[in-house]
Structures are given as structure tokens and as C-alpha cells.
Structure 1
Amino acid sequence: MTREDLEARWFALTREELPGMARERGWPIHLDHCFQRILLDNAVGMAWRDAIRPPAYRNTSDEQLEKAVGLGEAAARGEEDLAALNRRSLAWRGKSLPR
């Protein structure tokens, strides 16, 4: 997959596919930038801004973006727990879910 294809897949996944599934899946998030945060944080193992200069989609390595896309595709298939990925992302940022 070329970098252009990888970025196109990233945006389709995080701007359309995952937000479109959010309500039916009962996911705690629905905005595109939240999906992007969760997937990138989990791809790099920390808050992405601590590892990648903004804009993230341009400055991630191919390997990081492939991992983030893979996590999103796995969540779409029901093979990754998006709520758990979100909790991990928030913990890296020193935040917790609202009660």
C-alpha cells in the first residue's frame, strides 16, 4: 500500500466507517478526532503528541500509521475493544472517563 493509499484508508476509517458504527456498537465516542486520538495513541504506546509532530497523519511513520489503521480495522470487525483502547489512551493523557 502506498503512503497515499494508507492516508486515504486512515481518513475513510476514522471519518466515516468508525463514526458510522459508533451508535450501534455502543462506543463511548463518535467524533473523528477521538477515533484518531485513540488509534494513534495505541499505535505509539503513549499520547501521540509526545511522539509525533502535528499534523499526525503527515508525520507518523508508515509503520505507525499502518498499526493505527490495523487497530481501527480490528475494532470495526469486533476484534479489538475500542472502549479499552479509549481508557488506555485517556490514562496516558492523565484523564479518565466522565462518570
Structure 2
Amino acid sequence: MAAQPIAERWFALTRERMPELADKRGWPVRLDHCFQRILLDNAVGGHWSEEIPAPAYRNAPDELLERAIALGEAAVAGEEDLAELNRNSLAWRGK
């Protein structure tokens, strides 16, 4: 069986799996674009759009998207604190 394309994995994670878990986990965000912001910012180590032109899923190097997906998967597994990742993201954005 062929591996699922990276963009499909990205959208399945951020548009479906994470929003479905948000209320149960008490996560500070619920919307897909918020999960995408958090994961991309933390994968980049700053404001993602200063490093990657939009749309990120199309323009980011595969390694960066893999890092972002790994962070999201770790949050889903309870191995990363999504609230902390969100605080990082907001701090990089001056909020």
C-alpha cells in the first residue's frame, strides 16, 4: 500500500482529528487554521509565514511539514502540550 501524500496527512490531522479532540482535551483552539498555525510555527521556531510563502502545505519543504505533523501527532497522543505550543506560537507573533 502506498504512503498517504503529505498534504492529505496534514489536512486529515488539522481539519479532522485535532478539531474532533479539541473539546475532550480542553485544547485552547478548535479551528483547523489555528492548529495549522500552532504546528507550523513550532516546526519553524517562529512565525511560519516569515519563512514559507502561503499556502504552507504547498510551499513548505516536506521535512518541515513532517515536523509539524509529528508535533500534531504527539499532541494527539498526549506527548506534547498543545496549550504550551499555542503559547509559543502567540509569543512569536507578539500576542
**TM-score, length basis structure 2:** 0.96
> CA offsets per residue over residues 64-97 of structure 1, 9 Å max, x none?
00000000000000000000000000000000xx
1: distance between equivalents of 2:72 and 2:5?
A: 15
1: distance between equivalents of 2:65 and 2:44?
A: 9
Q: Unaligned stretches of 5+ in structure 2?
A: none
The residue aligned with 1:13 is: 13
The residue aligned with 1:84 is: 84
Q: Unaligned stretches of 5+ in structure 1?
A: none
The residue aligned with 2:25 is: 25
The residue aligned with 2:59 is: 59
Deviation of 1:5 after TM superposition, in Å, equals 1.1
Q: Number of residue pairs matched?
A: 94
CA RMSD of aligned residues (A): 1.2
- Given residue 58 of structure 2, which amino acid in structure 1 is its aligned partner? R
**TM-score, length basis structure 1:** 0.92
2: distance between equivalents of 1:50 and 1:6?
A: 22
The residue aligned with 1:74 is: 74
